[in-house]
Amino acid sequence: MGHDHPHSHDHSHGHATMGAASMVLDIGEGFGALVIHTGPDQAELEIEISPGHSENAPRSHNQVHARHNRHGTTYSAVFPSVAEGDYTVWRIDGAPQGSVTIRGGYVTEHHWD
């Protein structure tokens, strides 16, 4: 699949439908995507992930958004391009919420308790 941004890489872009809108996922060799499903009480929450299991590892975050579709409304945070590996999902209080394994070329789904 072609795309119009000026960099070279060896992974492809995938498209995922998240509710009524489409989102471009930058996945392929060495990179996957992560979708964290939540409930409405987490709307607008920023969820952090970090590689491995260390509290001191650098973290990235994304915000939970409402996703509207023909079946209703769901809530999720989407990380559209994540390097392969094991990651910790962190709660707002700094405690681990769970862990996920990202595989290149795949979308990993995680459910927030």
The CATH number of residue 100's host domain is: 2.60.40
Whether residue 85 is contained in a domain is answered as yes
Q: Determine if the pTM surpasses 0.85.
A: no
Domain carrying residue 62: 14-111
Helix, strand, coil abundance in the chain, percent, nearest 5: 5, 60, 40
Residue 57 located in a structural domain: yes
104 found inside a domain: yes
Full pLDDT tens readout for the chain, 113 residues: 343 334 333 444 444 444 445 678 899 999 999 999 999 999 999 999 999 999 999 999 999 999 998 999 999 999 999 999 999 999 999 999 999 999 999 999 999 98
Task: Confirm whether 95 is domain-assigned.
Answer: yes
**d(Cα 95, Cα 88) in Å, to the nearest integer?**
10
> Which token pair is 13?
């872009």
Assess if residue 39 is contained within a domain.
Answer: yes
Q: Is residue 7 part of a domain?
A: no
Q: How far apart are CA 110 and CA 25, in angstroms?
A: 16
Residue 94: HSE in the Cβ half-sphere, 13 Å Cα cutoff: 4
Residue 19: inside a domain: yes
Domains identified in the chain, total number: 1
Identify which of 87, 103, 101 has the alpha carbon closest to the alpha carbon of residue 32. 103
Please report whether residue 3 resides in a domain.
no
